Structure 1
Amino acid sequence: MIPPTIPNLVARAADHPFLGKHLALGHGAAGDIALARFDDHELTSAYEPIFDISVHALAQSLSSGAEGVDRFGDELGFQAVTQRLDAAPFDVFDPFDRIADDQELVAFDRMSRALHAINFFGAQRHGLLFLRVHERLLKSVKYDHGLHFSNVLMSFGLSPSRIVIELPAAAVAHKTFLGYLTKSYQHYGFKVAGNLSNAGQILSVSDTARLDFIKMDAATALRDATVKPLVGYASRLGIPLIFNRVMDEPQFEALQQYDVRFVQGPLFNAHYHDRTA
């Protein structure tokens, strides 16, 4: 089967009453990507790489530093970021503080998820697509989390199996709610990641909430000296652990002392953007 292109997927989105009003093919220098129109803004997608740094020898990585990340790490996948077309790379557009109505936020979320899926799959990117879910959205949708987005993807001819729905720490803190959300999204074909606000939250992860990935802020884990126990506990659970928001070289080098496998953050974004531009 021939993989769909971005123009193909934008054309399919036009068949959806809501998406057809908001999504369109870009123009000028952005003519090869999909754009979304929201509140007089033109929005597009950026993708933060998530690297598997165990692929090559760590000795090589230590000598090359983050500038050589493409020589020792392979991409597990990418975190989608919504940004204005005229903004600097990875300058996040966040509507959650300016929109009071939860249903309007649900609509924005559905629009942005479709936008990121079109730009990701239409460009034939490899790996997994990580999509964040805000706490307010989880509370606004009462049941069947993942049903609507799964139906949209299948109408595009895309599979939910390469998409990771990333839950906020507030959801992970509630074991019963976490179990329900995880099972619901997985039922509709998605993978699920959970963010930890602190190391102790990993205890909420169990067979009742069998996450596919766990994410932890690198600075917090290093400050609290919990990198090693987190790596060990996640290994016992058999769940991949991603340290995100890696800001600088010292943090990156400190993480490598503890057999950390997956990393993400601003340290790598500029280099990756330059390499793929």
Structure 2
Amino acid sequence: MIPPTIPNLIARAADHPFLGEHLVMGTGVHSGIALARFDGVELGSAYEPIFDISVHALAQSLSSGAEGVDRFGDELGFQAVTQRLDGAPFDVFDPFDRIADDQELVALDRMSRALHAINFFGAQRHGLLFLRVHERLLKSVKYDHGRHFSTVLVSFGLNPSRVVIELPAAAVAHKTFLGYLTTSYQRYGFKVAGNLSNAGQILSVSETARLDFIKMDAAVALRDAMVKPLVGYANRLRIPLIFNRVVDEPQFVALQQYDVRFVQGPLFTAHYHDRTV
């Protein structure tokens, strides 16, 4: 089967009235990628790499640091970020700052997720696509979380199993709600990641909420001296643990001392964009 291109996927989006109204092919400097036009703003996709630094880590010295990521790290996947294309480079667009109506926000979120999927899969990127979901959206959709997006992806000829729905810490904090959300999204073919606001929140993760990934702020974990306990507990749960928001070299070196496997953050994003321009 020939993988679909971005123009192919934009054409398929036209079969969905709302998506067909807002998703278009870019022109000029944005030619070749899909854009979304919403409320007078042009939106695009950016992708933050999530690296598996264990792949060749034994052959590297700690001094190789972040510059060596592209030599010994493989991308587990990428986290999508919605950007305004009329702003500064990598200017992130946060619709939650400007939209009060929850149903309008649900529609915008669905549009953004479709946009990111089109640009990700249409460009034949490898690995997993991580997509954040906001607490307001989880509460606005009453049941069958994941059903609509799964239907859209299947209509595009795309596989939901390569998409990771990333839940906010507020959802992870409630064990029953977390269990329901995880089961619902996985029922429709997705993988699920949960963000922790603090190390203790990992105790909410159990067999009743079998997450596929756990994410933790690297700075918080290092500050509280919780990296080693978190790695140990996640290993016992057999759930991969991603330390995100790694901002500088000292944090990266400190994480390597605790057999951390997956990392993400501005340090790697800047390096990734520098070597892919």
- Output the TM-score relative to the length of structure 1: 0.98
Structure 1 position 97, deviation (Å) = 1.6
Work out the CA distance in 1 between the residues paired with 2:241 and 2:262.
Answer: 7
Listed as ranges, the gaps of 5+ residues in structure 1 are none
Tell me which amino acid in the other structure corresponds to 2:115.
L
Query: Identity over the aligned pairs, expressed in percent?
Result: 89
Structure 1 position 74, deviation (Å) = 0.2
Work out the CA distance in 2 between the residues paired with 1:61 and 1:143.
Answer: 49
- Stretch deviating more after TM superposition (78-87 or 42-51): 78-87
Tell me which amino acid in the other structure corresponds to 1:177.
F
Query: What does 1:6-85 correspond to in 2, within 5 Å?
Result: 6-58=6-58, 60=60, 62-85=62-85
Runs in 1 of length 4+ with deviation above 4 angstroms? Answer: none
Work out the CA distance in 2 between the residues paired with 1:40 and 1:58.
Answer: 50
Structure 1 position 270, deviation (Å) = 1.2
1:126 is aligned to 2:123? no
The secondary structure found in structure 1 opposite 2:95 is coil
Tell me which amino acid in the other structure corresponds to 1:115.
L
The equivalent of 2:167 in structure 1 is: 167
Check conservation: 1:128, 1:164, Cα contact below 8 A: yes
Work out the CA distance in 2 between the residues paired with 1:28 and 1:42.
Answer: 13
The equivalent of 2:260 in structure 1 is: 260
The equivalent of 1:214 in structure 2 is: 214
The equivalent of 2:190 in structure 1 is: 190
The secondary structure found in structure 2 opposite 1:258 is coil
Deviations 1:91-136 (A, max 9, x none): 2110102111000110110000000000000000000000000000
Structure 1 position 87, deviation (Å) = 3.3
Tell me which amino acid in the other structure corresponds to 1:87.
G
Structure 1 position 89, deviation (Å) = 4.0
Work out the CA distance in 2 between the residues paired with 1:64 and 1:43.
Answer: 36
Work out the CA distance in 2 between the residues paired with 1:57 and 1:230.
Answer: 20
Work out the CA distance in 2 between the residues paired with 1:7 and 1:75.
Answer: 25
Work out the CA distance in 2 between the residues paired with 1:80 and 1:111.
Answer: 13
The equivalent of 2:105 in structure 1 is: 105
Deviations 1:156-207 (A, max 9, x none): 0001000000000000000000000000000000000000000011000011
Work out the CA distance in 1 between the residues paired with 2:271 and 2:105.
Answer: 32
Deviations 1:188-237 (A, max 9, x none): 00000000000011000011000000000000000011000000000000
- Could you say what the CA RMSD is over the residues aligned between the two structures, in angstroms? 0.9
Structure 1 position 59, deviation (Å) = 5.6
Structure 1 position 276, deviation (Å) = 1.5
Work out the CA distance in 1 between the residues paired with 2:88 and 2:274.
Answer: 13
The equivalent of 1:142 in structure 2 is: 142
The secondary structure found in structure 2 opposite 1:91 is coil
Aligned residues: 277
- Output the TM-score relative to the length of structure 2: 0.98
